[in-house]
């Protein structure tokens, strides 16, 4: 006789996805502009799936022959974050708006 877990499936999956050592490796990689990041790395940085998709749409994607996972360069990711970060002057970029 098998027993069912008492917690719902969604709650069982909500635990940490990466080990702390893996998070440390991603943090170290962020210091090297020539390094690469995978979708899993971006998830470990706290980005949800839609944000990861947006990063891969906005950055040049590196696809290595014989390797199925797409990658982005750290330099491209950091530049995207810097260009997408707005200070006190506005919350989002204006599209078609009049600059004051």
Encode pLDDT of 38-91 as tens digits. Answer: 999 999 999 999 999 999 999 999 999 999 999 999 999 999 999 888 877 766
Sheet containing strand 61-62, strands side by side: 36-37, 71-73, 61-62
pLDDT digits (tens, 9 = 90+) for 15-53: 455 457 778 899 899 999 999 999 999 999 999 999 999
Residue 100: per-residue pLDDT = 45
- Beta strand ranges found along 1-100 (DSSP E): 36-37, 61-62, 71-73
Confirm whether pTM is higher than 0.95: no
What pLDDT shows up at residue 14? 47
- Which residue do the tokens 């990466």 mark? 18
Whether residue 72 contacts residue 62, with contact meaning beta carbons closer than 8 Å, is answered with: yes
| Total Cβ atoms within 10 A of residue 41 | 23
Mean pLDDT of 5-19: 53
């Amino acid at each position: 006789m098998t027993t069912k877990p008492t917690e719902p499936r969604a709650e069982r999956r909500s635990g940490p996805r990466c080990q702390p050592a893996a998070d440390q490796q991603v943090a170290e990689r962020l210091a090297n502009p020539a390094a690469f990041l995978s979708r899993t790395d971006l998830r470990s940085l706290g980005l949800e799936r839609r944000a990861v998709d947006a990063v891969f749409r906005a950055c040049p994607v590196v696809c290595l022959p014989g390797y199925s996972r797409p990658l982005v360069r750290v330099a491209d990711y950091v530049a995207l974050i810097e260009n997408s970060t707005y200070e006190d002057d506005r919350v989002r970029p204006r599209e078609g708006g009049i600059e004051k």
